Structure 1
Amino acid sequence: MSDENAAQGETPETENPETEAAEVDPVEALKAENAELKDRVLRSHAEMENLRKRTERDVADTRTYAIAGFARDMLTATDALSRALVVIPAETRETADGALKSLIDGIELADREMQRLLAKHGVKPIEAAGQKFDPHRHQAMFEVPNAEVPEGTVVQVVQEGFAIGDRVLRPAMVGVAKGGAAAAPAPEANGDAEGIDKSA
């Protein structure tokens, strides 16, 4: 009896693996494997595409910004040429002749050529005069009382700023308007104060 029970107990154990093996459809298994492989290929392709785009972006950034340090140093030389021209009075420029006229013309030519070469390599001046003050592109040196323009407007440029691509090489040093049109709410505050006085 116990032998029969043991035999009966063994039968399901030996039948289960055979039944499971019989239930696995080879076509379905191949389809699942195919889907998994396809998913891996698509993921690898997406990763390679992202890597390609990132590399292209890095190369473009390198091309654009590689000369940033050199350009920043060149701005010092450009400033020196500009200052040399500023100190020469307009009357002297008009009446100059001989060696002095040649010197002035040479400084002007060198200044123009420096500006042209900087622009050729993507270094451009930052617009400042008349613009709203932008702390990312402008450096405020002082405030100018001026009621004719909105408060926070750049009214004077002390030193021109430059940018290369989207990056600021040197912010523009500026004077900013104070007490302009943006200060208009002050009379309303006075009106409120008068209203409080009346109620008191």
Structure 2
Amino acid sequence: MSDFNKDEYLNDLPDMDDLSGQGAPAGADAKESHDDHADAKTDGASADKPAAADAQSQQKQTGEQTDKSNDGDDKADDTLTPLGQAKKEAAEYLEALQRERAEFINFRNRAKKEQDRFRQHGIIDVLTALLPALDDIDRIREHSEMDDSFKAVSTKIDKAFEKFGVEKFGEKGEDFDPTKHEAILHKPDPQAEKETVDTVVEAGYRIGDRVIRAARVVVASPQN
């Protein structure tokens, strides 16, 4: 084994100036690259934060505008004076009262029409049931076989029906009208210039424009 020469070993070492020009170790480069990437991510996050903040701010403003629009009427009411608020409430109450009054009037009119219709149906039912008896009274009256007491009763019956709007029609000599007369027989008459009622077999009855029963008559007709 040769002897170690200290001077030769020191002379063989490289100078510090030569070492300063060489690159950094691989570990240092990796660390610097990682640090740069982290800085880039930090800068990206910093750039995204303002955008998210702007979107959140716009959403908040939209919500505030909606709340403002919903509360607009309330705020408008708040700005009214006590007298103005009282006038507004009075106008609302008046409008509601007028609407209720109109509905009540319509209901009253409908109820009155229904009442009149039911009343008329009741009168028609009673009249229809009494028609045979009324026809018999007319026949007795025509043949003058009615005493004074019976005449008084028949007159009361006629007036009672008149009170309820029942009108009796059908008279000898009047013009024949097929809308209110039922011709049971046509009799030629040389003196007749047009069809007229010659004989009333059964009187007709009506309420207003509604014919309950047409008058049954014998019609005198011109010969030609």
Query: TM bucket by the smaller chain?
Result: 0.5 to 0.7
Assess if the C-alpha contact under 8 Å between 1:128 and 1:138 holds in 2. Answer: no
| TM alignment of 1:84-163, pairs within 5 A | 84=140, 86=142, 104-106=145-147, 109-122=149-162, 123-129=166-172, 130-135=174-179, 137-145=180-188, 148-150=192-194, 153-163=196-206
The alignment partner of 1:131 has SS state of coil
Structure 1 residues 156 and 34: CA distance shift in structure 2, 3 A: same
Assess if the C-alpha contact under 8 Å between 2:192 and 2:221 holds in 1. Answer: no
Structure 1 residues 133 and 105: CA distance shift in structure 2, 3 A: closer
> Unpaired segments of 5 or more residues in structure 1?
89-103, 184-200
> Unpaired segments of 5 or more residues in structure 2?
1-46, 79-84
Q: Distance between the aligned counterparts of 2:151 and 2:131, measured in 1?
A: 11
Assess if the C-alpha contact under 8 Å between 2:137 and 2:154 holds in 1. Answer: no
Deviations 1:3-23 (A, max 9, x none): 111111111110112123334
Structure 1 residues 105 and 41: CA distance shift in structure 2, 3 A: closer
Q: Distance between the aligned counterparts of 2:214 and 2:146, measured in 1?
A: 29
2:215 alignment partner, one of 153, 168, 172:
172
Q: Distance between the aligned counterparts of 2:206 and 2:214, measured in 1?
A: 8
Residue 36 (structure 1) shift: 7.9
Deviations 1:43-67 (A, max 9, x none): 4332221111222233344445523
Aligned length: 163
Where does residue 11 of structure 1 map in the other structure? 57
Structure 2: which amino acid aligns with 1:138? Answer: H
Q: Distance between the aligned counterparts of 2:64 and 2:88, measured in 1?
A: 22
Structure 2: which amino acid aligns with 1:172? Answer: A
Q: Decide which moves more: 46-55 or 60-69.
A: 60-69
Query: Which one has the largest radius of gyration?
Result: 2
TM-score when normalising by structure 1:
0.60
Once the two structures are aligned, what percentage of the paired residues are identical?
A: 25
The alignment partner of 2:177 has SS state of coil
Where does residue 55 of structure 1 map in the other structure? 111
Q: CA RMSD, aligned part only?
A: 3.9
Structure 1 residues 85 and 8: CA distance shift in structure 2, 3 A: closer
Assess if the C-alpha contact under 8 Å between 1:78 and 1:111 holds in 2. Answer: no
Structure 1: which amino acid aligns with 2:114? Answer: D
Assess if the C-alpha contact under 8 Å between 1:131 and 1:154 holds in 2. Answer: yes
